Structure 1
Amino acid sequence: MNRQFLKTLLATSVVVMSSSAFAGQAPGAASAPDIPISHHDRVYAAEQFSNTVSVTDPVDNKLLGVIRLGDPQPGNFSPLYKGQVLVHGMGYSPDHRTIAIVSIGSNSVTFIDTATNAVKHTTYVGRSPHEAFFTPDGKELWVTVRGENYISVIDAQSFKETMRIEVPAGPGMQIFSPDGKYGYICSSFNPETDVVDVADHRIVAKVKQESPFCPNIAATPDGEQVWFTLKDVGRTQVFNAKPPFTLIKTIDTGPITNHVNFAVTAKGTFAYITIGGTSEVKVYRTDDFSEVATIPVGNLPHGVWPSGDGTRIYVGLENADALAAIDTATNKVIANIPIGQAPQAIAYVPGAAPNPDDRANLQSLGVAGQVAHLALAPKNQAKGEKPPTSVSLFDQGLIQVLQASVTGLEPKQRYVLALADHADGHGAVEPLAAFMTNPAGSAIVEATGPIRQIVQGSGKAERRYLVVTAGEPSKLGAVMQVQTP
């Protein structure tokens, strides 16, 4: 028996073990065996401004490359463009052989073979899909079509839509109970989470959301609780995963509360929640809901997922173009991995790679690895305090996509992100984007143009400075935040 044959046999054994059942971590059942971290595992991140999916080896915490699903701006503006736009959501099959990637701007779900990183099929669905996940039996993929009012149910073998489950407009995400009996669908436009019987695709219960904007939902591996986040009010709610699906707890988590997921450890089961406005991950016990840790991770944490053994939590940093790895024993960041632009959903897939040395269909970051970071703060902010607003300029070639994670303002008020002649906001002010803050005094603000050349230019005549003013573009008010040195 030669060495290459032994290597192949070992790889096959690892995959068979890992694909026989989910690990005892989310989204699987706690009763399933944990899967130790190995070179066969992969961490995937969906990156919406580079239109890539990054692939990371969790043993070395090393980026292996990206799967390029589309081009940057302005190429993807062409009427003849065929690639994907705003690569955003992600789910993976129970056999760990397929990841499904949702692209909001091109209304698509791309199915990728984890062994080869090759695209197997692309299915087009309704307007602005957001997230997708497979039923625990692997037979169906449910896609939340947030721009409309239904869940698109796709056959996992034929990749064709077989039916639609009508829900209130704007479904945000769905996840399933570990036993596969129920699907839980939160809403991004209406204050209602629906519980669906998976067998007959029928809504059997409704849970009231405290606000209409839920982007993310997760079920505990013991099948007892469902947690969902409320991005606009900065809260997380917990309800009973079984009838009568009663609300259990509402937690004030913080501005721009993004995603939630779980790690099952020897010390218990813990919820990890990304708080974009404070650039932290908060950790809560699931038995008494006490907060046990607050972990600084980097700008605008978004997606979050546990390793197959619960020893690590991986977090996508939207305004840092990075993946943070957290040791769940110490709740400390142990690695920071550069990846593509503005990571959204992430997933840790044990045993995804039968041959861990295969780099087929992976590309280098290229322009996706180029980004500039800025910060905005009140003019009178005390020295040493952390600026409340982070700004990333994602390079698209000649232009950049600007994304600002704005916090520290008055709730539900109108503001303008603008360019000013002087660092203190005086002189001529040119509006870039108007926005209204959410009930937590926060907002995600975007603009496009050759902005980096202006705000970081060396020539004094051309140099401008980012500011946030009160008011509207036609009637600018007082300068509230200015670009920090």
Structure 2
Amino acid sequence: MKNIIAALLVSAGSCIPAIACAQTAWVSNERSSTISVIDIAAGKVVAEWPVGKRPRGVTLTRDGKALLVAASADNAVEMRDPMTGALIATLPSGADPEQFFPSWDGKLLFAANEDNAAVTAIDLEARKVAWQVAVGDEPEGVAQSPDGRWLLVTSEEDNAVAWIDLATRAVVEEMETDARPRHIEFTADGAKVWIAAEMAGTVHVVDVGSKAIERTLTFTPPDVPAYKVMPCGIRFTPDGRTAVVALGRADSVAVVDVATLAVRGYVKVGERPWHLAITKDGSRAIVANGASDSISVVDLATLSVVATIAGGGGPWGVALGQ
């Protein structure tokens, strides 16, 4: 009998709750102030959690033990149980946190504060603000270099990116960019950083050593006027060979070969994709479509949408678990 029960548990996945069984996506919905919990394999929402007002950034802590949600209209970051959605703690974050980035050592959370032109470092263990650094107006994108040396923060209003030396917590350079930079993404080796400039319709590829823009990528999805191409979220596949860029009002994502910087193709998704995440095996992109209240699952081999999942109101950010 014990063997039969064990076999049944294995065949069922032996997971309680069900969201622990397969790779899970957590999608923040800024208009409905909820988190949609999605079973990617099943292609459906398995839970909907109420959270703070206008949630945007969403990510797991480095150890996977907590889900962090930027409740931007509440000027706070919520720490929640990723299995149940229960609130563990509310962290002080500065005014209007948008995007954030957990430090590589797992000790800090760097939050861009759009309303007070600063980036805030939150001590995740002490659950308090560790320090703040003033940056340009309307900061949104933030990322730490893989070697831990640099913290980069976009300034949408100033069309610039601040390079913060984390050893001194000082801005050592304000790098000019195209109009309205929104997102920053380092390559895994830390040699390059990609910066999405939304209003210019471009993505800069920057050499980290020289802090110089090496290439500026443009995008021409079929039958889409140039003014609707508004790059925002960027993610790399785990092997580092492919980048996926959400193109906003173009209602598409671009799939880019990282080595050649050539666009492999475009995939039509829902309306106004903001951000995305890529599955652990690198086969699919999970895309939050802010204006159509949906999530697109994109097969990166065939460059096609293989599932469309109804989300909450205004999907914005995506976090992936195991």
What is the TM-score with the length of structure 2 in the denominator? 0.88
Identity percentage over the alignment?
Answer: 22
SS at match of 2:194: strand
Aligned mates of 2:304, 2:257 — CA distance in 1: 17
> Residue in 2 aligned with 1:65?
47
> Residue in 1 aligned with 2:305?
333
> Residue in 1 aligned with 2:117?
149
> Residue in 1 aligned with 2:38?
56
Contact 2:25–2:39 under 8 Å retained in 1: yes
Aligned mates of 2:309, 2:21 — CA distance in 1: 16
Residue number among 200, 210, 217 corresponding to 2:178 in the alignment = 210
> Residue in 1 aligned with 2:91?
123
Name the amino acid aligned to 1:251.
L
Contact 1:130–1:145 under 8 Å retained in 2: yes
Measured after TM superposition, the shift of residue 313 of structure 1 is 0.8
Contact 2:234–2:243 under 8 Å retained in 1: yes
Contact 1:101–1:132 under 8 Å retained in 2: no
> Residue in 1 aligned with 2:190?
223
**Residue 278 of structure 1 pairs with residue 250 of structure 2:** yes
Change (3 A) 1:59 1:200: farther
Q: C-alpha deviations, 1:84-108, integer Å up to 9, x for none?
A: 2211122321112222111222211
Measured after TM superposition, the shift of residue 329 of structure 1 is 1.6
Name the amino acid aligned to 1:210.
D
Name structure 1 gaps, 5 residues minimum.
13-37, 70-83, 351-485
| Equivalent residues, number | 305
Change (3 A) 1:195 1:91: farther
> Residue in 2 aligned with 1:43?
25
Aligned mates of 1:139, 1:312 — CA distance in 2: 30
Q: C-alpha deviations, 1:317-337, integer Å up to 9, x for none?
A: 111111111112212111111
Q: C-alpha deviations, 1:390-426, integer Å up to 9, x for none?
A: xxxxxxxxxxxxxxxxxxxxxxxxxxxxxxxxxxxxx
Measured after TM superposition, the shift of residue 206 of structure 1 is 3.3
Aligned mates of 1:166, 1:131 — CA distance in 2: 16
Contact 1:90–1:345 under 8 Å retained in 2: yes
> Residue in 2 aligned with 1:299?
271
Change (3 A) 1:11 1:94: farther
Residue number among 99, 105, 108 corresponding to 1:140 in the alignment = 108
> Residue in 1 aligned with 2:235?
261
Aligned mates of 1:309, 1:272 — CA distance in 2: 15
Measured after TM superposition, the shift of residue 54 of structure 1 is 0.7
Measured after TM superposition, the shift of residue 138 of structure 1 is 0.4
Measured after TM superposition, the shift of residue 227 of structure 1 is 0.9
Measured after TM superposition, the shift of residue 292 of structure 1 is 0.6
Q: Rg larger in 1 or in 2?
A: 1
SS at match of 1:257: coil
Contact 1:44–1:55 under 8 Å retained in 2: yes
Measured after TM superposition, the shift of residue 11 of structure 1 is 7.8
Measured after TM superposition, the shift of residue 167 of structure 1 is 1.3
**Residue 114 of structure 1 pairs with residue 86 of structure 2:** no
Aligned mates of 2:169, 2:86 — CA distance in 1: 31
SS at match of 1:60: coil
Name the amino acid aligned to 1:270.
T
> Residue in 2 aligned with 1:251?
217
Contact 1:48–1:342 under 8 Å retained in 2: yes
Name structure 2 gaps, 5 residues minimum.
220-225
Residue number among 131, 134, 143 corresponding to 1:166 in the alignment = 134
> Residue in 2 aligned with 1:236?
203
Contact 1:51–1:85 under 8 Å retained in 2: yes
Contact 1:207–1:247 under 8 Å retained in 2: no
**Residue 345 of structure 1 pairs with residue 317 of structure 2:** yes
> Residue in 1 aligned with 2:63?
95
- Larger displacement relative to structure 2 (43-52 or 97-106): 97-106
Name the amino acid aligned to 2:73.
G
> Residue in 2 aligned with 1:80?
none
Contact 1:56–1:64 under 8 Å retained in 2: yes
**Runs of 4+ in structure 1 over 3 Å off:** 1-7
Measured after TM superposition, the shift of residue 153 of structure 1 is 0.9
Aligned mates of 2:25, 2:295 — CA distance in 1: 9
Change (3 A) 1:322 1:115: same
Q: C-alpha deviations, 1:262-308, integer Å up to 9, x for none?
A: 1145xx61111111222111111112211111111121111111111
SS at match of 1:215: strand
SS at match of 1:105: helix
Residue number among 178, 193, 196 corresponding to 2:164 in the alignment = 196
